[in-house]
Structure 1
Amino acid sequence: MSVPPGAEPTLWELHRAVSQLREDLRGDLAQLAARLDHVVTEDVYRADQRVVEQRIGQVEAGLASLRSEHEQVVERGAQQRREDQAQAAATRRLVISSFVSPLLVMTLQLWLASHGSAS
C-alpha cells in the first residue's frame, strides 16, 4: 500500500492493516501451537533418559558378560590345544621308542652273534 508523502492513511486502510496483522498473528500462533504439541515436559524427558540409560547399562552388562564368556572359551580352547600337543608328542615318543628299541636290541644281538661265533 503506497501512501503519498504527507498523506495520512484512512480509517479503512488502518482497519485493513490491523486485520492483516491479526490474521498473520493467528497463523503464527497456530504454527506455534502445532509445534508445542510435539514438545514434552522436562519430567517426561528425564524419565525417558533414565530408561535409555538403564537400557544402555543392561546392554553394557550383557556385553561384559559375553566378553567374559568369550575369553573363557578362548582360554579353554588354548588349554585344550596345549593338552592335545602334549598328547601328540607323547604318542610320537611312544611310537618312536616302540620301533627303535627292538631295532637296537636286534642290532645288538646280531653284533654279539657275529662276534661271538668268530672266537
Structure 2
Amino acid sequence: MSVSVPPSAEPTLWELHRAVSQLREDLRGDLAHLAARLDQVVTQDVYRADQRATEQRIGAVETALAGLRGEHDQVAERTEQQRREDQAQAAATRRLVLSSFVAPLLLMVLQLWLVTQGSAR
C-alpha cells in the first residue's frame, strides 16, 4: 500500500525560510549557552598551576604540622623530665624531714637508755 503525497504537502518557500530562521535562532541560543559554559572552564595549564599551588600549600601545612609535632614532643619530654625531678626532690624532702625528726628522737632514746643504765649500777 503506497501513500501518495499530495503536491500541496510540500513546504512553501516561506515555510522553509521560517524553519531555517528558527533553526538559526536555536543554533544562536545553543552557541550562546555553550559560550557561557566555556567562560567557566579553565585551561589545563591553569588547572595544573592551581594543583601545584594547592600541593605547595598542603606541603607547607604538613611541614608546619611536623614542626608542631616536634615541639609538642619536646615539651612533653621536658614535662616528663620535670616531673621526675619533682618526684626526686619530694623524695629527698621526705627523707630530710624524716631524718630530722627520727635522728633526734633516736638520740634522745639512746641518752635515756644510757641514763637508765648508769643509774642502775
Q: Could you state the TM-score of these two structures normalised by the residue count of structure 1?
A: 0.91
2:52 corresponds to which residue? 50
Give the counterpart letter for 1:18 in structure 2. Answer: V
Q: Which runs of 5+ in 1 are unaligned?
A: none
- Residue 13 of structure 2 is aligned to residue 11 of structure 1: yes
Shift of the alpha carbon at 1:49? 1.1
Q: Does 1:107 align with 2:104?
A: no
CA distance in 2, matches of 1:43, 1:62: 28
Residue equivalent to 1:78: 80
Alignment map for 1:27-42 (pairs within 5 Å): 27-42=29-44
Higher mean C-alpha displacement, 77-86 vs 33-42: 33-42
Percent identity between matched residues is 79
- The residue aligned with 1:62 is 64
TM-score (norm 2): 0.89
- 1:71-119 Cα offsets, whole Å, 9 max, x none, are 1001100100100110010010011001001001101110111122011
Q: Alpha-carbon deviation of 1:61?
A: 0.4
